[in-house]
Amino acid sequence: MDFISNTTTIDVFMASIPIIVLTIGIVVLKWNAAKAGSISLLLVIIIALFRFESTEANIVIAGSKGISLSIFVLSVIWSSVFMYNILEFLGLIEVIGNNITKLVKNPLAQALVVGWGFGGLIQGVSGFGVPVAVVAPLMILMGFSAPRAAAIALIGHCWATTFGSLGSSFYTLQLVTDLPAEEIGTHMAIMFALPIFLCGFAVAHIQGGLKSVIRGIPAILIIGTVMSFGQWVSAFLNVPQIGGLVAGLSGTVTGWLLTFTPILNFEQIQSNSISSDTPKANSNNNNLKNVSFHLAFLPYYLILAISLISQIPIIKSIPIQFGLDYPTNITGLGYMVKAEQDYAGIKLFSHPAPIILFSTFITFVIYKSRSIWTKNIGLNALNRTYTQCVPSSLGLITMVMMSLIMIDSGMTSLLGNSIAKTTSFLFPFFSPFVGVLGTFLTGSNTNSNVMFGALQLQTAKALELGVYTVVSSQSIGGAIGGAIAPAKVLVGTTLVGLGGQEHKVLKKSLPYCMIILIAVGIQALIISVLE
């Protein structure tokens, strides 16, 4: 507490300035993430040096840790988007989507299986706006009106965000908080059960109102239980990077199987969720008609298999890891930063990025032998990945560096202590809303965890609350916030022909997000009381 005793109310205000500027820059001034992050980074360096008495060495070490963490996260983002782009250029995303849409005819079943289950599946293997890009057009092809298609795509996949993108958001949070992955993973997976079910009910309500909710109760309970269990098992087995994939795949398959039963096989009056003049999905592409769903989905089967194989003790223990060591350092105000060994280390046989690349290479060999691979696919996919990922990567790097400097200068600890004094035992209720703020500002659950993960941890410690509950609520809130993040809403509106009318989709998505967030906050508060 020596550090805290050396600070004042002015210090609390100064520590909040980078976050305030970042918020105003993105929300009010409409800066992109790179610009907002760069200006906030500059401010945090100045404040750390001249107000919190950080040394140049403190800044360099913290900034270097930020770059290390950025590489850890960006390697997952770039490799997963690269794999997805390969499949899209080959036309195999169309094969996957059409196979699913052909099998599901009922409007409610379409919303639950495609919008909720398949959307989560795509989030599990790719993320970063891709689920919206894939699901929204599919919903349009199946006959859904544009606003509902976009809203279903946004709400339907957000539950899979933290354990999606091959675990980038989860691992970022784990690294920022330094909590054991196996502990935070299983705890968070249990807490995610509630928003999984609520997202299902939200999708049903968007599709057909209260009647669809009531009619869909049995299916939602069954599919939601299967998906919740899938995420928990993945976390329990210490392979959280496949949590979204396992949950989404199992939920999609379960939903499809239910269409053969009275639970989801029934005639439903098509409500105003359906546009009669919208063309239905078709799969008449002659170049792809001989490619099966399983062959198209091969890369993701491989990711699942390799991830499980990587947990075999003899493989898991292979000491091939790329990471840097950072020394202990202390600021002029007495804030101690502990040493780090192999910080944000990338393990060759367990980190998501190498697993994705291994899977991509095996896929290339098999597709080449089956004459599916075409010339320049890899280069075209790489070029598109570069175009898609560079802007968001620059924003992520600057915000990660800003966050690490705030952490290592003591700003985050000070803000956490201040919030603790203000909210007291009610803080767990507000925790998911902090996560939402981060995602709303940056468009990314990963960025939200970087910005506020350590802050949530420090606040929980100051209040002597369960750190796993509070930190989990941070990421759950950040995940749900993806459904109303302007960056993702923009993707959805553009793809369904509502460019410039983002308010229509946001107006439809916002109430559902708020209800889910309030429920998550109450859940966190109850758990914290019982702990």
Q: Which residues pair with 326 in a beta bridge?
A: 340
Confidence of residue 281 (pLDDT cuts 50, 70, 90): very low
- For residues 229 and 151, which has the higher predicted lDDT (pLDDT)? 229
With vertex at residue 231, the alpha carbon angle to CA 180 and CA 202, rounded to the nearest 5 degrees, is: 125
Quick one: average pLDDT of 305-313?
76
Length of the chain: 531
Confidence of residue 311 (pLDDT cuts 50, 70, 90): low
Model confidence pTM above 0.75: no
Q: Which of 216-225, 414-423, 507-516: highest mean pLDDT? A: 216-225
- For residues 159 and 167, which has the higher predicted lDDT (pLDDT)? 159
What is the percent of the chain with per-residue pLDDT over 70, rounded to a whole number? 89
3-state secondary structure (DSSP) of residue 93: helix
Q: What is the pLDDT of residue 498?
A: 61
The rounded distance, in Å, linking the Cα atoms of 328 and 324 is 13
Q: Which residues of 216-254 are buried (b: 16+ CB within 10 A; e: fewer)?
A: beebbebbbebbbbbbbbbbbbbbbbbbbbbbbbbbbeb
Q: How far is CA 293 from CA 157, 284, 288, 301, in A?
A: 21, 15, 10, 11
Confidence of residue 518 (pLDDT cuts 50, 70, 90): very high
- Pick the range with the lowest mean pLDDT from 53-57, 339-343, 464-468, 511-515: 339-343
Q: How does pLDDT run across 90-111, given as a tens digit for each residue?
A: 988 778 777 777 777 788 998 9
Residues 320/349, Cβ–Cβ less than 8 Å: yes
Q: What is the pLDDT of residue 268?
A: 54
State the chain's maximal CA–CA distance in angstroms. Answer: 72
Residues 531/466, Cβ–Cβ less than 8 Å: yes
- For residues 415 and 360, which has the higher predicted lDDT (pLDDT)? 360
Q: How does pLDDT run across 49-66, given as a tens digit for each residue?
A: 999 999 999 999 999 988
Q: Which two tokens stand for residue 531?
A: 């702990």
Q: What is the pLDDT of residue 521?
A: 95
The rounded distance, in Å, linking the Cα atoms of 69 and 347 is 14
Residues 176/470, Cβ–Cβ less than 8 Å: no
Confidence of residue 282 (pLDDT cuts 50, 70, 90): very low
Quick one: average pLDDT of 16-32?
82
Confidence of residue 492 (pLDDT cuts 50, 70, 90): low
Q: What is the pLDDT of residue 500?
A: 57
CA-based nearest residue to 200, from 229, 170, 222: 222
- For residues 361 and 340, which has the higher predicted lDDT (pLDDT)? 361
Confidence of residue 128 (pLDDT cuts 50, 70, 90): low
Q: Which residues of 447-473 are buried (b: 16+ CB within 10 A; e: fewer)?
A: bbbbbbbbbbbbbbebbebbbbbbbbb
Q: What is the pLDDT of residue 499?
A: 55
- For residues 490 and 410, which has the higher predicted lDDT (pLDDT)? 410
Quick one: average pLDDT of 35-40?
89
Q: Which residues contact 182 (CB under 8 A, 6 or more apart)?
A: 235, 236, 238
- Pick the range with the lowest mean pLDDT from 79-88, 148-157, 253-262, 324-333: 79-88
Q: How does pLDDT run across 417-443, given as a tens digit for each residue?
A: 788 788 888 999 999 988 887 787 666
Q: What is the pLDDT of residue 444?
A: 76
Average pLDDT, the chain: 83
Confidence of residue 272 (pLDDT cuts 50, 70, 90): very low
Confidence of residue 322 (pLDDT cuts 50, 70, 90): confident
What is the percent of the chain with per-residue pLDDT over 90, rounded to a whole number? 29
Is pLDDT at 372 greater than 50 in this prediction? yes
Q: Where are the beta strands (DSSP E) in 221-313?
A: none
Q: What is the pLDDT of residue 273?
A: 42
Confidence of residue 271 (pLDDT cuts 50, 70, 90): very low
- Pick the range with the lowest mean pLDDT from 82-86, 290-294, 317-321, 484-488: 484-488
Confidence of residue 290 (pLDDT cuts 50, 70, 90): confident
Confidence of residue 486 (pLDDT cuts 50, 70, 90): low
CA-based nearest residue to 97, from 67, 142, 33: 142
Q: How does pLDDT run across 347-358, given as a tens digit for each residue?
A: 787 677 888 889
Q: What is the pLDDT of residue 23?
A: 77
Q: How does pLDDT run across 172-211, given as a tens digit for each residue?
A: 888 888 888 888 999 999 999 999 999 999 999 999 899 9
Is pLDDT at 138 greater than 70 in this prediction? yes
Look-up of token digits 């057909």: 208
Please, is 431 exposed, middle or buried when counting C-beta atoms within 10 Å of its C-beta (0-12, 13-18, 19+)? buried
The rounded distance, in Å, linking the Cα atoms of 1 and 80 is 43
Q: How does pLDDT run across 381-398, given as a tens digit for each residue?
A: 999 888 877 877 887 788
